[in-house]
Amino acid sequence: MLTVARQSDAESIAADVKAVARGDREAFTRVYAAYGRMVRGILLGRVPRRDVDDLLQDVFVTAYLRIGELREPAAFGGWIATIARNRATDHLRRSRDHDQLPPELPGGDAVEADTLIVLDAIRKLPDAYRDTLLMRLVEGMSGAEIADRSGLSAGSVRVNLHRGMKLLREKLGWHADE
């Protein structure tokens, strides 16, 4: 049943993506709701927190403008993830402040310094682990959701979560037996 439900979900998203290409506004809102957290997780791993929501909008604007280039609606997740990564890289290149994030970020909520230390450690992980951990731990997505949205297999997501956690513990000096 779960497989059937996921397939149906995937078909429904593919239909929405096609509808967006035809200019359907309600479909665009549904696609945004479905992929927004994934895109935000990718951005948070790369740019200052204060810029994430602006870039989130930029990424979906770009996707909307270029959706005609996407031949396979089923590839939407990977496609918009690539847009997000490229947009983050462009932003860093322009803002030139990517290597030093202040502990208190203007325009953001006051966040404990420890949290920002953890975020910084995750940002130093390889791409696949960084993205997956932020989707899971910040955006609250389940492993199955991450797989559905990103286009990766459940097995790959599981491996990314476990390897990412292992590396993160090492970076933070946490140990499994503590």
Partner 1 sequence: MSDDYLWDGGGSPGPDDQDVVKLEQMLGQLRAPLPAAPDLNRLTQLRSSHAADATTTHIAYATVRFWAPALAMAAAIALMIAGTYRTLTTGDPGPTWEVERMDGQPRIESASQSARLEGIGRLGVGQTLATDHESRARLDVSTIGQVTVDPNTRVRLVSTREGRHELALARGTLHAFIAAPPGQFVVNTPSSTAIDLGCVYTLHIDEDGSGLLSVAAGWVAFEYKGRESFVPARASSRTDPALGPGTPRYDDTDETFQRALERFDYDRSRTARSAGLAYVLEHARSNDAMTLWHLLSRTDETERNAVIDALEKRSPMPLGVTRDAVMNLNRAALDFWWDSLGLQDASWWRKWKGPYPAKP
Residues in region 110-139 near partner 1 by CB under 8 A:
111-112, 114-115, 118-119, 126-128, 134, 136-139
When the beta carbons of 12 and 57 are compared against partner 1, the nearer one is: 57
Q: How far is the CB of 8 from partner 1 (least distance, A)?
A: 19
Asked if 63 and 77 touch (Cβ cutoff 8 Å), the reply is no
Position 3 contacts partner 1 (CB under 8 A):
no
Where does the chain have alpha helices with state H?
A: 2-21, 25-44, 49-66, 76-95, 113-123, 127-137, 143-150, 154-172
Q: How far is the CB of 50 from partner 1 (least distance, A)?
A: 12
Per CB under 8 A, contacts with partner 1 among 7-36 are 23, 25, 28-29, 32-33, 36
Position 156 contacts partner 1 (CB under 8 A):
yes
φ, ψ (nearest 5 deg) of residue 142? -80, 165
Helix (H), strand (E) at residue 107 = none
Binding mask 35-64 for partner 1 (x = CB under 8 A): -xx--x---x----x---x--xx--xxx-x
Cα 63 to Cα 73: distance, rounded to the nearest angstrom = 12
Position 171 contacts partner 1 (CB under 8 A):
no
Position 159 contacts partner 1 (CB under 8 A):
yes
Q: Return the ∠ at Cα 77 (arms to 71 and 78), rounded to 5°.
A: 75
When the beta carbons of 15 and 24 are compared against partner 1, the nearer one is: 24
Cα 155 to Cα 13: distance, rounded to the nearest angstrom = 22
Stretch that binds partner 1, among 1-9, 10-18, 93-101 (CB under 8 A): 93-101
DSSP 8-state class, residue 69: G
Cα 101 to Cα 107: distance, rounded to the nearest angstrom = 13
Q: How far is the CB of 27 from partner 1 (least distance, A)?
A: 11
Cα 145 to Cα 6: distance, rounded to the nearest angstrom = 9
When the beta carbons of 11 and 127 are compared against partner 1, the nearer one is: 127
